């Protein structure tokens, strides 16, 4: 019997791949976990913030806001400001007011040997009667004219004039050493501010050599100054 060639059968096809598992549940779980963690962080952060001043080790991380001081408003002069707690003031007529570290400084007949005081005078530009050589629109020019007329005795300019802007209004300042006849020398910190048609003159007074001790306090008072009419 003749033999016939045997053709090998083709290999069976590979089995179909297993269906991919859905990862929707996995991603939903991850998202829910992240949301839960965020909520916990927000809740814990809120509790810490509310109790930030009473939790040991946490209260030192949050600075306590510095109070602005005592509010002062003068309708006659038309301005308001904040002055340091513990200071006193004396309204001198309807054109000026003086703030001081103590009543003794306010009552002193001469330049005090300790403490400090700062006075404010508010005038309309038309009321200054400045010399024709003074530019009434320039606080530095006004400051220069006042420096030579306000104080009696020998006046030495230690610093300035320095021009700056306070609440979008032009201003200028200087620091003086004044040696009046028959009295102790003192430092004067003068500022001229032009605001809403007004000329505001402030003069801070300290015993000689103590201006830097009180200068930041003077600046804080000036920064809070606001014309109200």
Whole-angstrom distance, CA of residue 145 vs CA of residue 25 = 82
Q: What percent of the chain has pLDDT over 70?
A: 68
Indicate if 91 and 194 belong to the same structural domain: yes
* Contact (Cβ atoms closer than 8 angstroms) between residue 154 and residue 127: no
Tell me: do 77 and 190 sit in the same domain.
Answer: yes
Separation of alpha carbons 171 and 197, rounded Å: 13
| Domain annotation covers residue 56 | yes
Query: For the chain, how many structural domains are there in total?
Result: 2
- Among 77-91, 112-126, 153-167, the range scoring the smallest mean pLDDT is 112-126
45-59, 95-109, 123-137: least confidently modelled range: 45-59
Top-ranked range on mean pLDDT: pick from 60-74, 104-118, 202-216: 202-216
Return the closest-CA partner of residue 183 out of 83, 110, 86. Answer: 110
Give the mean model confidence (pLDDT) for residues 216-220.
Answer: 95
Instruction: Let me know if residue 101 belongs to a domain.
Output: yes
Mean pLDDT of 137-165: 90
pLDDT higher than threshold 60 for residue 123 = yes
Q: How far is CA 60 from CA 45, 63, 64, 67, 182, in A?
A: 16, 7, 9, 18, 51
* Residue 149 per-residue DSSP state: T
Q: Name the average pLDDT for the chain.
A: 78
Instruction: Give the integer Cα–Cα distance in Å for 184 and 207.
Output: 8
Residues 75 and 113 in one domain: yes
Confidence at 148, pLDDT banded by 50, 70, 90: confident
Domain boundary among 14, 33, 61: 61
- Does position 56 have pLDDT exceeding 60, yes or no? no
What pLDDT sits at residue 52?
47
β-partners of residue 175 are 159, 189
pLDDT, residue 163, reads 94
Q: In terms of residue numbers, what domain contains 145? A: 70-227
197 SS3 class: coil
CA distance 185 to 166: 29
Query: Tell me, what's the pLDDT at 62?
Result: 45
Whether residue 108 sits in one domain with residue 46: no
Cα 64 from Cα 73, distance rounded (Å): 26
CA distance 69 to 84: 5
Are 145 and 35 in the same domain?
Answer: no
Final residue of a domain: which of 43, 61, 79?
61
């Amino acid at each position: 019997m003749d033999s016939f060639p045997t053709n090998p059968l083709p290999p069976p096809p590979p089995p179909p791949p297993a269906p991919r598992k859905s990862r929707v549940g996995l991603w939903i779980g991850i998202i829910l976990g992240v949301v839960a963690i965020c909520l916990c962080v927000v809740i814990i952060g809120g509790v810490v913030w509310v109790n930030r001043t009473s939790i040991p080790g946490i209260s030192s991380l949050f600075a306590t806001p510095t109070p602005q001081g005592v509010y002062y408003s003068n309708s006659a002069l038309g301005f308001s400001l904040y002055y340091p707690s513990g200071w006193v003031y004396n309204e001198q007529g309807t054109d000026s007011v003086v703030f001081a570290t103590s009543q003794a400084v306010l009552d002193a007949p001469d330049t005090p040997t300790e403490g400090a005081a700062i006075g404010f005078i508010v005038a309309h530009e038309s009321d200054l009667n400045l010399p024709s050589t003074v530019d009434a629109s320039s606080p530095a020019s006004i400051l220069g004219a006042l420096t030579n007329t306000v104080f009696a005795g020998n006046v030495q300019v230690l610093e300035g004039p320095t021009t700056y802007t306070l609440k979008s209004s032009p201003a200028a300042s200087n620091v003086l050493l004044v040696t009046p006849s028959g009295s102790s020398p003192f430092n004067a910190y003068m500022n001229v501010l032009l605001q809403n048609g007004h000329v505001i003159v402030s003069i801070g007074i300290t015993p000689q050599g103590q201006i830097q001790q009180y200068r930041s306090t003077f600046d804080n008072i000036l920064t809070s100054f606001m014309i109200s009419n």
